[in-house]
Amino acid sequence: MANQTYTSEGVVHLIKGEGRLLKSGGSWVFDNEVEQVTGTFENGDVVRVEDFDGYFMGWGVINLDSKIRVRMLCRHRREVIDDRFLEERVRAAYDYRKEVIDTSSCRLIFGEADFLPGLVVDKYEDLLVVQSLSLGMDRLKKSILISLIHVLQEDGVSLRGIYERSDAKVRKKEGMTPFKGWIWTGKEGWIQQPFNDMLRQWKSGEEETFPQPAEDVHVSITENGVSYLVDVENGQKTGFFLDQKQNRMEIQKLAKGKKVLDCFTHMGTFALNAGLGGASSVLGLDISELAVAQATENARRNHLSEVVTFRAADVLDELPKLYQAGESYDLLILDPPAFTKSRTATKQAIKGYREINRQGIRLVKDGGYFATCSCSHFMTEELFKKTVKEAADSVHVRLRQIQFRTQAADHPMIWGGDDSYYLKFMIFQVVREK
């Protein structure tokens, strides 16, 4: 493949005094921080970013249709943004994962934290699942994925294919068409039509249609000794939540002999780790019938059906019913979806987190264990701790903290880029006042 260069002649000039996030290590330049854009370029191109006085700030991808006007790729003036540059980024990301985590199934590329903003690539055994959330990444994606295939092959990893899960609504904010489907298979090579479709601008009211998969889009993975069947086509995000891998292991270590309740169980991940850890009984709750069916199948696959069971229920409604029925648990896990995806909704989300934690804590026996988490980066560490304490105080319970954890090491947190730090996970012992 010829070494293609992606830098345009476009120059983004910042307003005097703006670009504070960028200057503190962040990866984004917002529309209201830009004085003007000069030179020749197209949306999605790589452009030069300069401060108000012409000082060079770096190279990034531009999108005039997005509030995030520029997503930064590099801070070095003499760097050439070409295929070799992208391969270096990919190789560095993979080499890092090999040192910090089991790479059989893991996140290989984590957007801004790997200096490839707006791009996620998850590896599930021999299948890659890619999610592109920025126009610039759509333009560079094929080169990045070709590099990734080569880097994996060099390490003896052969792939069945690459599946695209760019069906997130946030793509519409970038002026892009949501897309879901195969983009590469080991048998057929690159499937060109999806790339043409993905570069089309999305128009309001346009019907979303996704091609039917050419073959099975399920993959069997093993994590912490637990086997899962991952539904890449219909599962949440890219099919599975890899970020809780190391946190699930902590639950496995803690579960022996315990009666466990796993709330918002999804595919049964915490519940199955508890079962494998020797829990006496485990109940998993989730509002989704599909999730419960998947979790039940996963229990069967792991020969845990007699110990680990699942029920479709709205957790917010079910926890008060369990309390009224006199139920109590040795270990209770709360892993809710993000209650807020915007800064403006945070105040309301705090009430939701406080209430769900209150309901959960009061179901835990004296001396029992309570694990709780938040996956919203808008719910900061300080704010989440304060909210959980308020929940405990409201039911006259003291919490003895055992662990505070974050996302798995394949989801690194880049300081200065707050979006990369989103998962907070805490384990407590519940001490009731006498």
- Just list the catalytic residues: 375
- 275: nearest Cα among 304, 300, 295, 297: 304
Backbone angles phi, psi at 314, to 5 degrees: -80, 110
Q: What angle do CA 181, 63, 96 make, to 5 degrees?
A: 65
Residue 30 has φ and ψ, to the nearest 5°, of -90, 160
Which is nearest to 215 in space by CA: 227, 232, 229? 232
Q: Where are the alpha helices (DSSP H) in 199-244?
A: none
Residue ranges of E strands in 15-155: 28-30, 34-38, 46-50, 56-62, 68-74, 105-110, 119-124, 127-132
Cβ-based neighbour number of residue 360 at 10 Å: 27
* Radius of gyration from C-alpha coordinates of the chain: 23
Q: What is the dihedral of CA 274, 276, 279, 285, to 10 degrees?
A: 40
Q: Among residues 315, 405, 309, which one has the least CA distance to residue 360?
A: 315
Residues 357, 334: contact at Cβ < 8 Å? Answer: yes
Strands 7-14 and 46-50: parallel
Task: Report the phi/psi class of residue 299: left, alpha or beta, with left for phi > 0 and alpha for psi in -120 to 50.
Answer: alpha
Instruction: Write phi, then psi, for 153 (nearest 5 degrees).
Output: -60, -40
